[in-house]
A and B are shown apart, each in its own frame.
Chain A
Amino acid sequence: MADVEMRTESKDDDWVRIESNDGFSFLVRRRVANISGTIKNSLDTESGFSEAESKTYVAREYRGLIIQKLLEYMCFKAHYDKVGPKEEVPVNEFLERIPAEIVLELLLAADYQEM
């Protein structure tokens, strides 16, 4: 029974945890986390990885600030990806929110996270 429950839940919007290397921990909807290909694969319930069982993705490479921006982009994309073609995606506003100091670090993280 428990098994079945878990599966139906994982298809829906259950929460997953993403941890940074400096002790920050973020809870996001699985739907949002799945925007990153790397996180999606790690948390895939059929993969059998320990991450999937604990529903926790530990991003050892990144500090909290970077994770925060990654998640910000993921929420941004999750929100605007579905809007109709006429609605404008405020990309520029999002660009404004990325500080130049972290952009290289963020680029590497984004590359690794396939997004």
Chain B
Amino acid sequence: MSYNNVRGPTSALTEFLRDSGITATTIARRSATANRPAAGPSNTLEEADNVDANQEDGVQAARRRTRSSNRRSGYVSDELDDPASPTKKRKLSRSAEAKMKKKQGEKSKKDDKDDEDEDEDAYTALSRSMWSIAGSPSKPPVGNFDTCAKCQKQFTVSKYTVAADPGPGYLCHPCAKSSGNDPFKKPTVPKKCKPTVTKRVVNSEERLFPSLASLCIQIISRYIDDIEALGDIGTLNMEAISKAISKNRSLTSANAHLFYGPEITVLTLYDATKLTPDALSTLAHFNPNLTTLRLDFCGLLSDEVMSVWSKSLPNLVSLQLLGPFLVRPPAWINFFESHPQLECFKITQSPRFDVKCIETLITTSQKTLRALGLKEIGKISDEFLNCIKLLEGQLTYLDISEPSESCSEVAIIDMLSTVASTLTHLDLSNHTEVSDKVLQQGLQAYSNAITSLGLRNLPELTDAGVANFFNSWTSNPPLTFLDISRIHLLNKGALLAILAHSGSSLQELNINGWRDIDNEALEEIGKQARDLKKVDLGFCRGVDDFTVKSIIEGNKGGLQEVKVWGCNRVEGKWTVSGKQRHIRIYGIESH
């Protein structure tokens, strides 16, 4: 029924007829059995019925009418006899039928109950065609004049001419239009109301079986106010517990108390993501004697927390933070002024840390600061380096890597000239302006204690320059850690010089992205750097199974990790003689 409502109003007459059992179906049946082309005047009632029911599809009706009237006007005389014969019916209203089918399909999806309605619909087309034949038996041939049934004006009959409603007669074009029955209107495309796919909300509750570790953490949280119940913590390795709890973001304000205590001096939390500003403030209150604090992922560390820390933590000398994005310069400055004894200050990713902060840090902690890490600090600039110069004679650790804009070579050389003599760790990665000049005039000239060097992504360095530097860097002891990756032009000369200089003591080597280096030079790694623990050969195209094998076999046994991402000649098909070793090889593509 709802369907009918959509299609148009039903007159009281239709209702009445339907109640007395007269529907389009019965009419059609009757006419089929009567087997006559045109109904007599007695049909007028049904006509009205049908018109009412089908007002909307005017154009189709018109089309059918024209067709049928053509027939009636004698062009196809043999069809005259039985307009109700099934095949012809189909011909008459194929488009209509297609439409019906569509609608039916939609409908049956929508609602299976409306079967009767469908029946009715199936017959509307037929009965309508009958009606046009019957009600206006004499539609004049196209081109003839006729008088409008409404305005009584003469008009030319066209194939768009519409029968008057109610009949008899035909309407002129303006009248047809004004009656809301635009003859030119394209057949209304059945609204593509998407079949409302009853969203079968499958209750797919993915049940992850709780891990034993998570269960343990639950119990810890439960007993957090009664830590004695957890037994003697002192005997256990708190750092290992901290690491275990930090996995899967399990460290929360509730269970972080496990690590707190007035006797604690060193605190490391590996994932502080879920520690709110309040929790970070209480951290300071519960651990008044901290000397060393390291927080990873401390994104919620805010100005308020920093001001709380400024008032507490009087003994803090070492602070290491990963991701203190929110802290603003005034809060940093306030903290530095209240902690003039910092020895180690390392932060990573802090876009707001500016030159005023570093100035305050260095003036307040000038006598004590030994380790300074400013990694991925967006505002780092030559001015920063000028400040760092003041730490002459004491700075051992300096990391100014990954700036957003490179510092100038002159400033870096100038800074190194004062601080390089004491440095053991230096990271200049991604200062893209750095060229061979910095190595020669900055490091070679002034450094004499560096053991760990980061020179990642310095595209100005040349193979000859790096080779020359390492060959003549005799003032400095061999390196244990070297990251000189992502410098595509470095080649055999540089590698052999590095191995000659540091090969005997290298523990970690990263030459990722030396794309042109050949297998022969790479095998020297295995021969000369026999103490390696970790090596990254990624995207060195020359690496193959023999290279990896020679590195593994040449190693004295400490090798833990080999990375060969992007080395597509490595197939992992070597066999290593000797004892079983715990080496992890990452990035073999054929695996």
Contacts and interface: CB of A to CB of B under 8 A. Distances in A.
Nearest to A74: B212
Interface in A60-115: 70, 73, 77, 80-81, 85, 89, 91, 94-95, 98, 100-108, 110-111, 113, 115
B205 interface: yes
B211 interface: yes
B205 A107 contact: no
Given A91-B215, A95-B219, A106-B212, A111 B230 contact: no
Contact of B205 (A48, A85, A102, A108): A85
Interface in B204-256: 205, 207, 209-213, 215-220, 222-223, 229-231, 233, 236-237, 240-241, 243-245, 247
Contacts of A101: 229-231
Contacts of B245: 107
Interface residues of A, number: 26
Nearest to A69: B212
Given A104-B241, A108-B237, A94 B215 contact: yes
Contacts of A102: 231
B220 A111 contact: no
Nearest to A96: B219
Given A85-B205, A89-B209, A98 B219 contact: yes
B247 A104 contact: no
Contacts of A89: 207, 209
Contact of B207 (A85, A100, A104, A110): A85
Contact of B241 (A80, A81, A94, A108): A108
B215 A95 contact: yes
Nearest to A72: B212
Nearest to A81: B209
A115 B215 CA distance: 10
Given A107-B213, A107-B245, A108-B236, A100 B229 contact: yes
B240 A100 contact: no
Given A100-B223, A101-B231, A107 B216 contact: yes
B240 to A, nearest CB: 6
Interface residues of B, number: 28
Contact of A95 (B209, B218, B240): B218
Contacts of A103: 216, 219-220, 223, 230-231
Contacts of B211: 110, 115
A103, A105, A110 — most chain B CB neighbours (10 Å): A103
B144 to A, nearest CB: 76
Nearest to A77: B209
A90 B72 CA distance: 83
Contacts of B215: 73, 91, 94-95, 98
Nearest to B237: A108
Given A95-B215, A111-B247, A104 B209 contact: no
Interface in B564-591: 580
Contacts of B219: 95, 98, 100, 103
A89 B21 CA distance: 62
Contacts of B217: 107
Contact of A105 (B210, B212, B213, B236): B236
B241 A107 contact: yes
Contact of A110 (B209, B216, B231, B580): B216
Contacts of B243: 111
Interface string B517-551: 00000000000000000000000000000000000
Contact of B210 (A48, A91, A100, A107): A91
A70 B217 CA distance: 15
A101 B219 CA distance: 10
A104 B231 contact: yes
A110 B236 contact: no
Given A91-B210, A111-B244, A111-B247, A104 B236 contact: yes
A105 B241 CA distance: 9
B94 to A, nearest CB: 51
A91 B231 CA distance: 23
Contacts of B580: 48-49
A21 to B, nearest CB: 15
Contacts of A108: 236-237, 240-241, 244
A48, A85, A95, A107 — most chain B CB neighbours (10 Å): A107
Given A85-B205, A89-B209, A106 B223 contact: no
Interface string B132-162: 0000000000000000000000000000000
23 contacts: A49-B580, A73-B212, A85-B207, A95-B215, A100-B223, A101-B229, A101-B230, A101-B231, A103-B216, A103-B231, A105-B236, A106-B216, A107-B213, A107-B217, A107-B220, A107-B244, A107-B245, A108-B236, A110-B213, A110-B244, A111-B240, A115-B212, A115-B213
Given A80-B209, A103-B216, A104-B216, 20 more contacts: A48-B580, A73-B215, A77-B209, A89-B209, A91-B210, A91-B215, A95-B215, A98-B215, A100-B229, A100-B230, A103-B219, A103-B223, A104-B236, A105-B236, A107-B245, A108-B236, A108-B240, A108-B244, A110-B244, A111-B213
Q: Ordered nearest first, which 9 A-B pairs have the shortest CB separation?
A: A110-B212, A107-B216, A111-B244, A101-B231, A110-B213, A100-B229, A73-B212, A103-B219, A100-B223
